[in-house]
Structure 1
Amino acid sequence: MKVTTMNDAADEIFEQASSGASKTYPKQCSALKKGGHVLLKSRPCKIVEMSTSKTGKHGHAKVHLVGLDIFTGKKYEDICPSTHNMIVPTISRLDYQCLGVQDGYLSLLDDKSITREDLRLPDNDIGQDIQKKADLGEDFMVTVQKAMDDEIVVALKSMKTND
């Protein structure tokens, strides 16, 4: 969200971006590592394969990248000169206490005691495990990974109780 303000003393317009980090940042292709993240075909991907070709007739070594979409698991590939910049997504992981599942949505509580109910139950093994634990009334945490306005639950862990 951008806020535009006018300065009364002069006819200048100042724009402010909302607080927080950028969704992406540039990084030189040769500095990328296997297991790291990069945007391939405008999707946030985890790099699973990387290979570099030798310097060619025109002077640039090429890097061949293969990545898996962190949300769908779909495979993407790209080739980039090693001296050029690639776009890297800013990825965050947050833990929430799961309060339950209702109509396919998770009821989550963060560490500031704020609840949210806008995240879908994942359609995978983790989602099935979450549903089982919620049905049994167990206390557990979920880890939510966020990148470029997309979010998905990537892990769950039981909460230790001191009885």
Structure 2
Amino acid sequence: MADPDLDFQTGESGASATYPMQCSALRKNGYVVLKGRPCKIVEMSTSKTGKHGHAKVNLVGIDIFTNKKYEDMCPSTHNMDVPSIKRIDYQLVNINEGYMSLMSDNGDIREDLRVPDNDVGREIETKFEAGDEFMVTVLSSFCTLEPL
């Protein structure tokens, strides 16, 4: 018989963090997962078919969050993962104890994003302290959020 104490909770929308795409269909300035990281393709070249198999696609990508460079090679007929990337623009309302208060187009406020510890973060703080009104673009992929 079934165990009545089993309780399964679901909290996902069912959307996948990645989807497959044939290597030969990838394009420069597109996105791909290299070494487990979401990357923007900055260089791409194809080598000809040799006597031992398929044409190969050489990919060079820059991590969209860390700007680290990654390289990979894949047979052109094989699939690679493409990250699902979401871009949302928010208006910066306040900065409090290193966290930003961001307002979306529909008026929702989110206060869970820290000001990045990089040049972008310093630019955000400088503009905010000067009293400028501006938008912050937030990228999300692989459950990672990063202001741009």
TM-score by length of 2: 0.87
Q: Could you say what secondary structure the match of 1:30 adopts?
A: helix
How many residue pairs end up in the alignment? 142
Deviation of residue 143 (structure 1)?
Answer: 0.7
Deviation of residue 17 (structure 1)?
Answer: 7.0
Give the alignment of 1:1-163 within 5 angstroms.
18-19=12-13, 21-154=15-148
Percentage identity across paired residues of the two chains: 62
> In the alignment, residue 141 of structure 1 is paired with which amino acid?
M
Deviation of residue 113 (structure 1)?
Answer: 1.7
Residue deviations 1:38-75 (CA, integer Å, cap 9, x gap):
00011000111111111011230011111111000111
Deviation of residue 16 (structure 1)?
Answer: 6.8
Q: Any gaps of 5 or more consecutive residues in structure 1?
A: 1-14, 155-163
> In the alignment, residue 25 of structure 1 is paired with which amino acid?
Y
Q: CA RMSD in A?
A: 2.0
Q: Distance in 1 between matches of 2:89 and 2:111?
A: 14
> In the alignment, residue 52 of structure 1 is paired with which amino acid?
T
In structure 2, what is the equivalent of residue 9 of structure 1?
Answer: none
Residues 108 and 17 from structure 1, CA distance in 2 versus in 1: closer, same or farther, beyond 3 angstroms? closer
Q: Any gaps of 5 or more consecutive residues in structure 2?
A: 1-8
Residues 16 and 100 from structure 1, CA distance in 2 versus in 1: closer, same or farther, beyond 3 angstroms? closer
TM-score by length of 1: 0.80
